[in-house]
Structure formats: structure tokens, C-alpha cells
Amino acid sequence: MAEHPPVPGWRSLLGVALLLGAIASGWSVWRHAHPGSDGLLATRSDYVLRNYEIVVLNPQGRESFTLRGPELLRNPADKTMQLATPQFLVPDHNGHYWDVRAQHGFVPAGGEQLQLRGKVRAVSPPQAPPPTLIETEWLALDLHRNRAATAAAVTVTRPGLTMRGMGLEADFDRQQVSLLSQVHARYAPQP
């Protein structure tokens, strides 16, 4: 009479299933702890600054601008930076500061032009009349030339004057602000 090999019982099948589950979960944990070329490494910041203040000097050693904010993240893959609620203090030719703020900021590689998005507000220096407020949803800052520009809708407010239009060019040194198209102005004489 021939003997038949024993049929694996439910305990053996359960043991194999648990072993395979342990191997799969261990591999998953290791993979998340050691990212490879699957793109996870490229999305992580190589440095993060929190509650920072950066003063940038021009080639002559004078202040070009000051940047403050709660968080700055740098992407190592493309050398760009993301800024949370940045504040730029941009001096004019007399050393008085424009105060430029936004919800978000983006600095491309090389840092030639900074992009601000979301409730952008630029306030002229109080020492340089007339007081000027620029409001838009998107603004590009060229801090090497102390200029700003946008193609978005813009509101410029000065005492007794409100101007709205599409597009803007501003020269912070000269206190010149130009709306580019579809300009509507409302003048209310001051008492």
C-alpha cells in the first residue's frame, strides 16, 4: 500500500501567507526610507529655512534687497526655491524701502527674476510721497534693476486716485508706476 504525502494543513498555509505579508511590508518600509531613482529624491528639498531674514548685496556692496519669511524650500533637482508668505524690502535710490508681500514666492534657478503669487501687495516707502499701493495676483520682481512687472489685473491706489488696468511696469528707484492697458481711473479730490 502506497503512502500519500501529507496535505498541508491550514496552519501551514497561514504561516506562508504571514511570511509573504511580512516580506512585502518590510520591503515597502525599506523602499520609503531609501528612495532611489523613482523621483522621490528629486521632490525633497535639500535645505529648508524657517523664520529667516536674508540680506542680499549688490556688486558694489550695498543692499540690493532683504527677504523675510516663515519658510523657504530649495529643490536640488532644478535649483529653484519656493517661498511661503515672503516679504521683500526693496530699497530705492535714497535707501527707503518698498515693502512687497505675497502668499507665495518662486525663485527660478539663477535668481534673476522672482515671481510672487496670491494677494501681492507693494507699498511705497512712507518717506517718498505720494503713498502708493500696488495690488495684483501675480508680480515678477527684477531686484537687480529694482523693477516689477505683471500682465495680470492691477489696482494702484494713491491719495485721491484709484487706477485699475491690465499689466504693470514699476521702477522702484524712480517711484514710477505705469499701467499698460484697459486703464480706468477714479479721481476723488482730497480736502
**pLDDT tens-digit profile of 109-133?**
877 788 999 999 999 998 888 899 9
Contact 121, 101 (CB under 8 A): yes
pLDDT on residue 39: 47
Within 10 angstroms of residue 169's Cβ, the number of other Cβ atoms is 13
Closest CA to 135 of 113, 150, 145: 150
In angstroms, rounded to a whole number, what is the distance separating the alpha carbons of residues 81 and 74?
4
Measure CA 88 to chain center: 12
pLDDT band, residue 101 (cuts 50/70/90): very high
**pTM of the entire predicted model:** 0.72
Local structure of residue 191 (DSSP, 8 states): -
In angstroms, rounded to a whole number, what is the distance separating the alpha carbons of residues 173 and 82?
27
In angstroms, rounded to a whole number, what is the distance separating the alpha carbons of residues 175 and 132?
9
pLDDT top residue among 157 and 92? 157
pLDDT top residue among 44 and 137? 137
In angstroms, rounded to a whole number, what is the distance separating the alpha carbons of residues 108 and 78?
8
Instruction: Kindly report the average pLDDT of the chain as a whole number.
Output: 81
Using omega within 30 degrees of 0 as the cis cutoff, is the peptide bond preceding 130 cis? yes
Arithmetic mean of pLDDT, 40-68: 80
pLDDT on residue 42: 47
In angstroms, rounded to a whole number, what is the distance separating the alpha carbons of residues 74 and 80?
6
